[in-house]
Amino acid sequence: MLPQTLILLLLLPITLQATVVPMGGKRLVPYHQGRTMTIGWDDELQANNVDIGIWDGVTSQLTMIATRISATEGSYVWSIPRDLPTGDRYRIMVRDADAPLRAQYSSGYVSIGTTPRPIATTVKQVDEGVDVQASPFPAAEMLTISWRDRDVTKVELLDLHRRLSSSVEVEHGADHARIDVRSVPSGLYFAKLVHRNGSIVIEPAMISR
């Protein structure tokens, strides 16, 4: 092996089996400028502290969001800048803060959309978004999934291998669902919200006892 080849190999990111959410994907409802995104990761990263960044596939630039976050936190809430360019162009990166080559990216591209304008009426102002929250984080007995829009038909709790752990049918017009997780093993999960039009929103959830 040539010395130049060896140097190049040493500089390449190390492939990990860790999972980073949101994973991205064409069917996912976009996140929006000026709102928040919960970024999650699992224990497979095997780091004490992590750095978090967002990689722009159009400009090939990595922008750091946060540095030296305790890995045991399992998640970080990021306020999306209002001037962030929109599109299906971003991948989320989480890496070992002490070994930057040990990095994991979201498996797909995450879409950022413009903030929906409120709908003004003579009585009230409505701002129907797709913001989703899983609480508490972590949950031990009951996990509550809440959302802003009223068109969710079903909530599924998936493990890291996308296997179904629990499923709840949602009544029309509801803005939350509760899932009993007392029999669910500890770990990082995905709350999958299925909308009436077939679109999907994924939100990380943590179970811990």
The structure tokens listed for 60 are: 């090939």
Task: Tell me: pLDDT of 61 over 60.
Answer: yes
Provide mean pLDDT across the span 21-47. Answer: 75
Provide mean pLDDT across the span 47-68. Answer: 94
Is there a contact between 175 and 195 (Cβ–Cβ < 8 Å)? no
CA distances from 177 to 141, 190, 203 (A): 14, 14, 13
Q: Determine the residue type at 171.
A: E
Residue 142: the pLDDT is 94
Taking the C-alpha atoms of residue 106 and residue 112, their distance in angstroms, rounded to an integer, is: 14
Q: Determine the residue type at 154.
A: K
**Domains of the chain (ranges, CATH numbers):** 18-113 (2.60.40), 128-207 (2.60.40.1220)
Instruction: Give the phi and the psi of residue 135 in degrees, each rounded to 5.
Output: -145, 155
Mean pLDDT taken over the chain = 79
Total-model pTM: 0.56
Digit-coded pLDDT (tens) for 86-129: 988 999 999 999 999 889 888 888 888 876 544 333 332 333 34
